[in-house]
Amino acid sequence: MSRSEVTEKLGRLKALLKERDLDAIILKKGANVAWAIGGRAHVPTTLELACMDLVISQDGIEVITNKIEAERLIAEELSGIERVTVINWFEGRDAQLPQGERVGIDSPDPLRVNLSTEIETLRRDLNQDEVARLRQISIDSSIALGEAMRHAKKGINEVELAGSIARECWERDLEPVVLLVAGEERLSKFRHPLPTTAPLGSRFMGVICARRKGLIASVTRIASFTKIDNETQHWYERLLDVERTFINESKVGAKLSDVVRAGVAEYRNQGFDSEEWTRHHQGGPTGYLPRDFPAHERTEREITLHNALAWNPSGKGLKLEDTILTTHSGPEILTIDPEWPTQMVFERARPSLLEL
């Protein structure tokens, strides 16, 4: 990330310091650290905590990490304005961190002020550099998934397709932090289908949340080796109408709770079972996590400019998912694959069920 972008984010954090009358803010969570430095903050992708801690004060940013990571971070991830404190790998970083009632932190902590909500809010408001990066990440993610889905062969199993999807992601410098595949026999059973050795069968779904330098794009596509039957197409079009409501209501100034209520009502309007929406979360804010949290009917947080959102309505063995950005002119769909077939849903081109 450029020094100017690090400086812009540092300015936001310094403003929070002043607003809360604090001496320092500690960032430990991977998503927050990746946001602040604009780089990779992890080693294992499974850990919530970063491989470094950041201490932000009015004097700047201090990075605390160990000898294993320091050289790589300085060479490949940091902007150069950070001060780096290096410790031995067998020492804990906590001893280097300030504590007390004038120190904030991005998680619950008995020794410091919990600023997790405030940091998350800062992180959701993407700046122009992040918007540009997320647009490219979203396009690359869509193409990666689409390429693997379009070239799937009859007779392979879910794990084999997952391998193809992962390869297409990595070839585009994307980390598949979520990768789901469902073949025909599992498509209607499970909303989070981790790949198995079950055969794809005639119809199958691929799902990815793909990350580059911290930012994540989410996308789902469904394909079939046989002609899509009328009933499946009927319910897919009804689901597209549900999704249209979620997207249309995702306006700057709207509350997430109102968006979800409108989407839930549209499930009923389109003839879905009244409990269909309860069988899977409907999505919510994204950006530096697959979802910051699943939005629901009591999520009173307000949508602001340049928030990334990913809604994922599902039902009848079908699912839709794309990453969108809130703009002055309304929601913008980012995850676009020019090779994937589309159909118009009023004013928008939306992905069709692909017939191979």
Of residues 185, 201, 217, the one with CA closest to residue 291: 217
What DSSP character marks residue 352?
P
Residue with tokens 């801690």: 53
Task: Extract long-range pairs of 133-137: CB within 8 Å, 24+ residues apart.
Answer: 133/212, 133/213, 133/215, 134/215, 134/217, 134/287, 134/308, 134/323, 134/325, 134/334, 135/325, 135/334, 137/174, 137/210, 137/211, 137/212, 137/215, 137/216, 137/217
Beta pairing partners, 304: none
The helix, strand and coil proportions of the chain, stated in percent and rounded to the nearest 5, come to: 35, 25, 35
- Which segments of the chain belong to CATH 3.90.230.10? 128-355
The pLDDT score that the predictor gives to residue 2 is 77
Class of domain 3-124: alpha beta
How many residues appear in the chain?
A: 356
The pLDDT score that the predictor gives to residue 1 is 60
The pLDDT score that the predictor gives to residue 4 is 86
- Which segments of the chain belong to CATH 3.40.350.10? 3-124
Q: For 158-249, list the strands marked E by DSSP.
A: 175-182, 203-212, 215-224
Task: Give the pairing of strands 103-105 and 24-29.
Answer: parallel
CA distance 228 to 349: 19
The pLDDT score that the predictor gives to residue 3 is 86
Question: Percent of the chain beyond pLDDT 90?
Answer: 98
The pLDDT score that the predictor gives to residue 74 is 96
Read off φ and ψ for residue 354, nearest 5 degrees. Answer: -85, 125
Give the pTM. 0.96
CATH of region 128-355, choose from 3.40.50.10540, 3.50.50.60, 3.90.230.10, 3.40.47.10: 3.90.230.10
